[in-house]
A and B are shown apart, each in its own frame.
Chain A
Amino acid sequence: MEILVCAKRVPDTSENEIELNRAGNDIQRDDLVYSVNEPDNYAVEEALQIVDRAGGSVTVATVGGEDDEEILRREMAMGAKNAVLLSDEAFQGSDGRGTATVLKAFVQKRNFDLILTGVQADDGAAQVGGMLAAMLDYPFASLVTSIEVVEGRKLKVSREIEGGNKEINEIDLPCVLSIQTGINEPRYVGMRGIRQVASVPIPTLDAADLGVDAGHVGERAAKVKRVDYFAPPVGKGAEMLEGSREERIDQLIELVRAKGGLK
């Protein structure tokens, strides 16, 4: 099975103190460290596991610039056979639809049986996967928490639904799935692994290579625009329970029960 995973490089929220810049239109970007968007990493792991079972190969693609190559290398160190950087000045400032347009053009140049995206990017809107499916006229399932390859051109996928329940769907290939974290336990990628793929060339495809009309992507074509950035006001502090240990336990049980945590 030929699998494409669409990945994105994002500032890692666990390793950065995200603050607004002075103008208030973006976050402070100096001194940030980046990593591959977490759900995308799960998607790559899932793709690798499917290939282990059913054969084929994994390709990872990202829309971005030179800096974004680092996440492609990391995913290659993880085991992805191919990586492609989709990069063009014209792509800059794209909204979700613009990014999906670029990815669609790439998918149409190759033959993929299955396309995986992370459920959403840390700095994104969880829309590229769905739009890409629609543009390609492929079936789509979101919030996928397990994938089973059934005979023929079908998959059985389970999806997370409200209340922690799961539903099982059958879906025809080719399709697009957005992957939820926790679907697997991604393997560790160490420095040594990255160093081993450090000199593997990663092809870059631009608008012309992909046959993307520059007018349909990028900042000018974007129909969703960020107008403001703000940090939510700090809410009321934590409620401190008072009294003896037993009294505090009783109060806590009462609180949890009132919120429906105990039945």
Chain B
Amino acid sequence: MIADVIQSPAQATYWLIQGRVLFLVITLLGVVCFAYIVAKRMTPLMRGAPDFRFDRPLARLVKVLQFWLGQWRHPRYRTAGTIHLLIFAGFIILVIRAFSLLILAVSDHFVMPGGHLYDILKDYAATIVFFAVGIAAIRRLVFKPARYAKGNTADAIFLLALIGVLMAADSVFEASKAAAHAQTGQAVEFLATLSMPWVLKNALISASLPTLQHLNLGAFFTHEVTFFFLLCYRPFGIQFHVETSLFTIYFSKLDRETLKPVRWGVPDDQLDQVKSFGVKTFEDFTWKHMLDFYSCADCGRCSDQCPANAVGRPLSPRFLTTKARDYSFRHYPMLGRSNNGTALVGGIYSEDEIWSCTTCGACEAECPLLVEYIDKIVDLRRGMVDDGKVPQSLQKPLKSLESRGNPFGKMEKKRAEWAKANGFQQTCPVKILNGKESAETLYFVDSITSYDDRIQAIGRATAKILAQLGENFGILGAAEKDSGHEVRRFGEETLFMALRDHNTEAIRATGVRRIVTADPHAYNALKHDYRFVPEVEHISQTIARGVRAGRIQFNPVEYPDNVYAYHDPCYLGRHNQVYDDPREVLDAIPGLQRVEMQRSRDRSFCCGGGGLALFYEPKEEQRMGVRRVRMAAEAGANVMVTACPFCMVNVEDAIKVAGMEGKMTAIDLAELAGQQIAATPNRED
């Protein structure tokens, strides 16, 4: 065997030390440091609250394939997403290469597995990653997308640069060896055409052998040191997700529509024994929620989509996470013991910040790493409620919910009066299922539709449609209490449970087989928060079924010039994926012109929130509803169709606030359907 003209790093001598020894020391040092850092980072997770995430491994694997390996959500932001996809794919390919180099550092003439095909792949991968981090850095430095503002740009650039150094060093290592071999007529490594090593090899082809030898060893050393430095530096910043993302996604929430219980493993009837509710100090977070903090890449997509952030409320989901992460780093320092914890609210978070969330879910629909926000917000609120820290504006409605079962403090006996108003009772009698009457279907009305003068019209439209469909239906009347949907989401779990138990009993006593509601918040509560109640359907689904079966026919629109835009209510769309039924209903109305707003379906923009959110007085620069109404106008619409009573309140208010009366009107899907419904179904066929 002919001696290689290029000495292998393991054989070479660096500053009088043999390469093998030097690299063994560097590797050991790097691995030990990394292990120590990870162990430190794991400490709070061990002390965190329990979280049940070890079930359904197959479903979790599917999540990993889709969201981790498949980078499913990245293309939602085209440029950044594409760059990330390239870097990620490159990293996946280069994992084998990285391990090969680590072995090569201590073992002579180690032959990389994978053969030529892999050699070509990894050359291109390194090249693509090099250019991708370059573009990413230019984006951050020159184009400065707004969502990166207030982030740690220097750190981001530094991390990108380190990746660039890794790629360049590897390429120089390859290129210098190939150039030397070519010069001396030895077997030349195959380098992929036009890849970075290939270009460098051609550039170095006439360099002297000693220069090539120096370059070769220098590049290897640089790669080795950078690799371990990066490994140990990542856990201190936004690139920790390189290590944690796989776990974050594997352990991500499978039933995203449900809300986290107060404490995992404690059944409702034993909750009274739990000393403290919710999250008050860092250790009250579950270990998975802590892992979320570590995994956040600070990409800002959550806050870019967050309606609260958009209208200047003191909430940005991104900072909710990064503040917690920074706190945990301070609270659990690398050297020494953990400091005494402080209260999170009043410390790193303000009360207004935590109350500002409408739980619309836009942030969670966007996060590429499936970081959870709503559960954390609700847990923080549970902690505040437990400590009595509830804004005065919410105390009255909560008290009324406790004593009267509705947030307005109205009398229970007046809950069914909407069905009597304007002579409605004569045209469409609504049964009250109080033991004497029975029915197949229960119409769950909920508080706002029962008591609000304007919204009662949605109730009557819903009843009219059900009657038209020939449904044998009735309502609970005075026996119905608020579904408690927002009571739960505002952190008052005990009151929610009382409302839920009351309604569950009342519903079961009627013997109905299914439930229909026109309120997405009630729909979501009955579907996901309640147990042991019949199947529930939103009225838009009922109408769509009627349309499909030919049981509902619509008259053509009266004003064909009107342009309609459908606004997806958060709890119908994003939280329950009912996107198509309402659109199908609209499209079944002859002559109805419909446009889509730019932000629709799972990117719908919350109108301001429902339930208790109507009572909360946020600090904000603008109303969410005003923004939303303007979006509809930009789409060319002059009628906004909603399918939620709270959307109606917010949108109609916003039309007035925005001074758009006469230019924009709002109508509920049930109202529109009720108005357009043809008196008798078409029986021609």
Contacts and interface: CB of A to CB of B under 8 A. Distances in A.
Contacts of B409: 12, 14-16
Contact of A192 (B277, B389, B399): B277
A186 B403 CA distance: 19
Contacts of B495: 190-191
Interface in B76-118: none
A191 B390 CA distance: 14
Given A31-B411, A188-B389, A15 B498 contact: no
Interface string B385-417: 111111010111011101110000101010000
Contacts of B372: none
Most buried by A among B385, B388, B402: B388
Interface in A34-89: 35, 78
Contacts of A186: 392, 395
A185 B388 CA distance: 10
A15 B388 contact: no
A15 B494 contact: no
B492 interface: yes
Contact of A35 (B385, B390, B399, B411): B399
A196 interface: yes
Interface in A140-190: 185-190
B389 A187 contact: yes
Given A33-B403, A188-B395, A191-B494, A17 B272 contact: no
Interface in A1-34: 12, 14-17, 31, 33
B396 A196 contact: no
Nearest to A191: B494
Interface residues of B, number: 26
A195 B395 contact: no
B403 A195 contact: no
Interface in B403-436: 403-404, 409, 411, 413
Contacts of B272: 192, 195-196
B561 to A, nearest CB: 26
Given A14-B396, A14-B409, A31-B411, A189 B388 contact: yes
A83 B493 CA distance: 27
A188 B492 CA distance: 11
Given A15-B403, A187-B387, A188-B395, 19 more contacts: A12-B399, A12-B403, A14-B396, A14-B400, A14-B409, A15-B399, A15-B400, A15-B404, A17-B411, A31-B413, A78-B388, A186-B392, A187-B390, A188-B388, A188-B390, A189-B388, A191-B402, A191-B498, A192-B493
A192 B398 CA distance: 13
A186 B389 CA distance: 9
B415 to A, nearest CB: 13
B116 to A, nearest CB: 68
Contacts of A78: 388
Contacts of B492: 190-191
Contacts of B404: 15, 33
A188 B393 CA distance: 11
A195 B271 CA distance: 11
Interface string A186-214: 11111111011000000000000000000
Q: Which 7 pairs from chain A and chain B are nearest by CB?
A: A187-B388, A188-B390, A15-B409, A192-B494, A33-B403, A191-B494, A188-B388
A27 B403 CA distance: 19
Interface residues of A, number: 20
A196 B388 CA distance: 14
**B387, B392, B399, B493: most-surrounded residue (chain A CB, <10 A):** B399
Given A15-B400, A191-B402, A185 B392 contact: yes
B24 to A, nearest CB: 60
Contacts of A190: 385-386, 388, 398, 492, 494-495
B655 to A, nearest CB: 16
B269 to A, nearest CB: 12
Nearest to B659: A245
Contacts of A33: 403-404
Contacts of B395: 186, 188
B403 A35 contact: yes
Interface of A: 12, 14-17, 31, 33, 35, 78, 185-193, 195-196
B155 to A, nearest CB: 40
**For A12, A33, A188, A193, which residue has the most chain B Cβ atoms within 10 angstroms?**
A188
Contacts of B402: 191
A12 B402 CA distance: 13
Contacts of A196: 272
A185 B389 CA distance: 9
Given A15-B404, A185-B392, A192 B411 contact: no
A60 to B, nearest CB: 16
B564 to A, nearest CB: 28
B573 to A, nearest CB: 31
23 contacts: A12-B399, A14-B400, A14-B409, A15-B399, A16-B411, A17-B411, A31-B411, A33-B404, A35-B399, A185-B392, A188-B385, A188-B394, A188-B398, A190-B386, A190-B388, A190-B495, A191-B492, A191-B494, A191-B498, A192-B272, A192-B386, A192-B493, A192-B494
Contacts of A188: 385, 388-390, 394-395, 398
Contacts of B403: 12, 15, 33, 35
A192 B498 CA distance: 11
Contacts of A17: 411
A33 B405 CA distance: 12
A35 B402 CA distance: 11
A31 B415 CA distance: 14
Contacts of A16: 409, 411
A190 B487 CA distance: 11
Contacts of B277: 192
Nearest to A189: B388
A33 B396 CA distance: 13
Interface in B558-577: none
Contacts of B389: 187-188
A14 B411 CA distance: 11
Nearest to B412: A31
Nearest to A78: B388
A78 B387 CA distance: 10
B99 to A, nearest CB: 54
A190 B388 CA distance: 8
Greatest chain B CB density within 10 A among A185, A192, A193 is at A192
A157 B136 CA distance: 62
Contacts of B498: 191
Contacts of A187: 387-390
A195 B388 contact: no
B360 to A, nearest CB: 24
Contacts of A14: 396, 400, 409
B131 to A, nearest CB: 56
Nearest to B404: A15
B612 to A, nearest CB: 12
A16 B404 CA distance: 9
B120 to A, nearest CB: 65
A196 B277 CA distance: 13
Nearest to B399: A35
A78 B389 CA distance: 11
Contacts of A191: 402, 492, 494-495, 498
B494 A195 contact: yes
B334 to A, nearest CB: 37
Contacts of B388: 78, 187-190, 193
Nearest to B274: A192
Contacts of A192: 272, 277, 386, 493-494
A196 B402 CA distance: 16
A186 B392 CA distance: 8
Nearest to A33: B403
Contacts of B493: 192
Nearest to B388: A187
Interface in B488-527: 492-495, 498
A78 B386 CA distance: 11
